[in-house]
Chain A
Amino acid sequence: MKSYIEPEFIVKRDYEKCVKCKVCINECTYGVHYYDDKNDIIRSRDENCVNCHRCVVFCPTKAITIEKNPTQYTENSHWTREVITSIKRQAETGGAILTGMGCDKPYYTYWDKILLNASQVTNPSIDPLREPIELRTYLGAKPDKLELELENGEVLLKTKLAPQLCAEVPILFAAVSYGAVNFNVHLALARAAAELGTFMNCGEGGLDKRLYRYGDHIIVQVASGRFGVNPEYLNVGAAIEIKIGQGAKPGIGGHLPGEKVTQEIAQIRMIPVGTDALSPAPHHDIYSIEDLRQLIYALKEATDYTKPVAVKIAAVHNSAAIASGIARAGADIIVLDGVRGATGAAPKVIRDNVGIPIELALASVDQRLRDEGIRNRVSIIVSGGIRSSADVVKAIALGADAVYIGTAALVAIGCTLCQKCYTGKCPWGITTTDPQISKRLDPDVAAKRLINLVRAWSIEIKEMLGAMGINAIESLRGNREQLRGVGLTDTELKILGIKMAGE
């Protein structure tokens, strides 16, 4: 069948600058560039280009630019190019459209409609350059009350505290599974987490034994496929996260395409080489909150009650009630992943249409748990499109204890959000398990970039806190008085629990 799909991008090569060094040919994993030896010239197959910018960055003479295909269909705000292309592709293949990363639609971002407060005259701001500002965050269940006892003139804590994660910054690296990404990426995340005093989540594909030494900085995940889950794995991590849902694909299971299931991945996941790694939509031992409680306590039993157990859900319409159930089921941490949350592979229709913005879910969950008097029983981590330190500060003021960053972390190490993770050919060496392409990701350089990013955000967070006259991140948590909305309806303001700017 002849394909009616036109190239999405056009590769432009400045032949005055091109020295025919062929770097672009070697760097491109999609076979876009090729050498025409008859005419001694490098040409492009535009239809293969995914706009990943690998050739653009690595071309020594900066001879390459990538443009959106200027040939547009007749202008139509309803039948966009994306819609027309999707229909044509489905008509040609009969398959559901797969994509990577998070929802890319222009709506749903509330962070940009929320503004922060600052101190002026009546309450002094704090200068972070000369005064300490505390970012340390403890994640885990907090007691309803503290019992103290006096012994020989010393005050002792009588209350037994639940296990906690201590993060030096309220920023953790979100779950990306071994298989979705390669070992080098996991290693970089683990090293960066250890250096920063925070945590990386290893995702649902197990943990390579070479990373066990970073276990104190790793949250191990248990998803419905139970890949790589054994007692050693559960005990090596600092905490365990039960993955129920993911913001990029609420309600559906995980899907690691067979192209990425190499020998190494097959071994750790214990599935045949080249087969799709399927995590079913539900955990088949969890059909209710009571069943969830059963798994939470099975994991606590298996780890002697020494580790916090987190439960991750996608932000959906009734997240608040679900979160209440999760808290009551005995989870120590609730993770909410919003509609912008990313993935290595998801049906596009699900990614772009299912779930709700994290800002609204967070505000409603925090409020519900407060109303029920159980907010202290769980910590809340939010994720799904956290792009900057400002998003972090706004999230914490809305009620989060900490955030997970996934996409931002991958962008720091090279990702350009071309959304083709599912092909397993990531030219930046990130979402590929091909041993040759994986070598492109230098774990030392990547760890350094991750550390730099989180350090930079930490400085900015301290600046924002100081400006508000707050010297500890704890004092910002749920402090919605520091937030004001612009361009929001009364209902939106009410759900976010914030006032309109000017109020």
Chain B
Amino acid sequence: MNREFSHEGRKTLDAPGPVMINNGVVTINAANMHYRDLNLLLKTHSNLAKRINIYNVYGQRYIGTGLRNNVEIHVYGTPGNDLAAFMDGPTIYVHGNAQDGVGNTMNSGKVVVYGCAGDVVGYAMRGGRIFIRDDAGYRVGIHMKEYGEQKPVIVIGGTAQDFLGEYMAGGILVVLGLTLSHGETHKAKFVGTGMHGGIIYIRGQVTHVGKEAKITELEENDVALLKPIIEEFCSYFNFNIDEVLAGEFKKIVPLSTRPYGKLYT
């Protein structure tokens, strides 16, 4: 009843750009393409294609946003904000840097970035995995969640900025510090502020932790949890797992599950 108005929501594809389909692999040339057209192509092809390659990506937003299947997407160039937002299933490889909002409220699937990412990676992420080879910006993993089997994972190969894991309620956030020079500490401040669930693992020195979180040493079960995650990370980026694991890891966990319980009367 509420849909009485006929509505064709999308722009029609006047000039969709060259799309090639070959043996289940769809190749899209995104040069000069509006994000709406690009995403319509992705939605149209992703249910049948095994793999979609997108070339000449120049900042188009929302690539993979809301996609709900198991397609593999390779992005060549620089995707815009909200890559893989609300995504549910696909695997996206970014051959370049990503911008802000990678995996915003992502539900499942995977994002692998062969470069850096901007701010708010994995905001309110609910499931799936994000691997960033190099550095990421501010507020990475803010408000990550988990329940039961659904446990999101973010690995940042380099370092990240302030408010890492703020308000974190679940999931696993790993920062490896591989871009830091010898003896250099992570610069992130207010790590785990307001944290009330989940775990942050940091390789290297972190100097400023939010008052609702604490730094502890790893235990045996932490290593068991961490190892396969780092193995997967190394497999994408050709790092030597032994060298990565040889570094000194710390764990940051919430001090309490109710950090603000005493604030009110």
Known: A270-B170, A272-B257. A230 touches B265 (CB 8 A): no
Given contacts A258-B261, A280-B166, 5 further A-B contacts (CB under 8 A): A165-B2, A216-B1, A234-B66, A276-B258, A285-B120
Is A226 interfacial (CB 8 A cutoff)? yes
Query: Closest approach, in angstroms, between the C-beta of A434 and any C-beta of chain B?
Result: 18
Taken together as a complex, chains A and B put the C-alpha atoms of A199 and B2 apart, in Å, by 10
Q: Is the CB of A231 within 8 A of B68?
A: yes
A226 and B258 CA atoms in complex are apart in Å by 19
B7 close to A294 (CB less than 8 A): no
**Are the CB atoms of A95 and B66 closer together than 8 Å?**
no
Among candidates B4, B7, B36, B263, residue contacting A160 with C-beta atoms closer than 8 Å: B7
Task: Name B130-185 residues within 8 Å CB distance of A.
Answer: 139, 142-143, 145-148, 150, 166-167, 169-170
Q: Provide the main secondary structure of the chain B interface.
A: loop
11 A–B contacts from the bound complex (CB under 8 Å): A96-B265, A162-B5, A164-B3, A266-B147, A270-B169, A271-B197, A274-B258, A284-B139, A298-B61, A301-B35, A305-B9
Task: Let me know if A212 is at the binding interface, CB within 8 A.
Answer: no
Q: How far is the CB of A278 from chain B (nearest CB, A)?
A: 6
Q: A305 with B258: in contact, given A226-B105, A276-B196 (CB under 8 Å)?
A: no
Cβ of A93 within 8 Å of any chain B Cβ, yes or no, is yes
A300 to B100, CA, bound (A): 18
* Interface assignment of A23: CB less than 8 Å from any CB of chain B: no
Contact B61 A297 (CB under 8 A): yes
The bracket for how many chain B residues form the interface is 35 or more
Chain B interfacial positions (CB closer than 8 Å to A): 1-10, 35-36, 39, 43, 61-62, 65-66, 68, 81-82, 85-88, 100-101, 104-105, 107, 120, 123-124, 126, 139, 142-143, 145-148, 150, 166-167, 169-170, 194, 196-197, 257-265
B120 touches A284 (CB 8 A): yes
- B123–A226 touching, CB < 8 Å: yes
A226→B143 contact, CB < 8 A: yes
Once A164-B2, A278-B194 are accepted as A-B contacts, the answer to whether A89 and B62 lie under 8 Å apart by CB is no
Find chain B residues with CB under 8 A from A93 CB: 265
Mark interface residues in A221-257 (1 if CB within 8 Å of B CB, else 0).
0001111011110100010000000000000000101
Query: Is B62 a contact of A301 with CB atoms below 8 Å?
Result: yes
**What CA separation (Å) do A350 and B124 show in the bound complex?**
26
CB of B38, distance to nearest CB on chain A (Å)? 10
Known: A161-B6, A231-B86, A231-B107. A226 touches B124 (CB 8 A): yes
- Known A-B contacts A95-B263, A166-B4, A275-B196; the reply to A298 vs B258 at CB < 8 A is no
In the bound complex, CA of A354 to CA of B260 (Å): 22
Contact A238 B62 (CB under 8 A): no
Interchain CA distance A22-B148 in the complex, whole Å:
42
B88 touches A275 (CB 8 A): no
Q: Taking CB as reference atom, which chain A residue is nearest B80?
A: A294
Q: Which of B126, B264, B265 has the most CB of A within 10 A?
A: B264
Shortest Cβ gap from B134 to chain A (Å): 21
Distance (whole angstroms) from the CB of A196 to the closest CB of chain B: 11
A234 to B65, CA, bound (A): 12
Closest to B11 in A: A305
A347 touches B264 (CB 8 A): yes
A-B pairs, 7 with minimum CB distance: A305-B9, A302-B66, A95-B265, A226-B124, A270-B145, A93-B265, A98-B264
A285: chain B residues within 8 A (beta carbon): 82, 100-101, 104, 120, 123
* Residues of A69-97 contacting chain B, CB below 8 A: 89-90, 93-97
Is the pair A280, B167 in contact by a Cβ cutoff of 8 Å? yes
Asked if A48 is at the interface of the complex by the 8 Å CB criterion, the answer is no
Most chain A CB inside 10 Å of its own CB: which residue of B6, B8, B105, B148: B105
Closest chain A CB from B34 CB (angstroms): 11
Contacts of A276 in B (CB 8 A): 196, 258-261
Inter-chain CA distance A97–B263, complex, in Å, is 9
A480 within 8 A of B: no
Q: Is the CB of A229 within 8 A of B124?
A: yes
Q: Tell me whether A128 is interfacial, beta carbon within 8 Å.
A: no
B197 to chain A, nearest CB (A): 5
Give the residues in chain B near A347, CB-CB below 8 Å.
264
State in angstroms the CA–CA spacing of A278 and B150 once bound together. Answer: 20
Distance, CA A305 to CA B81, complexed state (A):
18
CB contact between B263 and one of A96, A167, A306 (< 8 Å): that residue? A96
How far, in whole Å, are A98 and B262 apart by their CA atoms in the complex?
11
Contacts of A260 in B (CB 8 A): none
CB-nearest residue of chain A relative to B3? A163
Looking across the interface, which residue of chain A has its beta carbon closest to that of B9? Answer: A305
Tell yes or no: A375 within 8 A of B by CB: no
Q: Closest approach, in angstroms, between the C-beta of A260 and any C-beta of chain B?
A: 12
Residues of A within 8 A of B9 (CB): 163, 300, 304-306
How distant is the Cα of A304 from the Cα of B40 in the complex, in angstroms?
A: 9
A269 interfacial by beta-carbon distance below 8 Å: yes
Asked if A238 and B101 make an inter-chain contact with CB atoms under 8 angstroms apart, the answer reads no
Instruction: Indicate if the CB atoms of B265 and A97 lie closer than 8 Å.
Output: yes
Tell me if A303 counts as interface (CB < 8 A to partner B).
yes
Chain B residue nearest to A97 (CB atoms) is: B265
Q: Which of A163, A225, A278 contacts B5 (CB 8 A)?
A: A163
Does chain B have a CB within 8 A of A197?
yes
Q: Which of B8, B65, B148, B260 contacts A302 (CB 8 A)?
A: B65
Q: In the complex the two chains form, what is the Cα distance from A271 to B258 in whole Å?
A: 11
Judged by a CB distance under 8 angstroms, whether A475 is at the interface is: no
Contacts of B259 in A (CB 8 A): 276
Known A164-B2, A275-B196; judge A304-B260 contact (CB<8 A): no
Q: Distance in Å from the Cβ of A423 to the closest Cβ of chain B?
A: 11
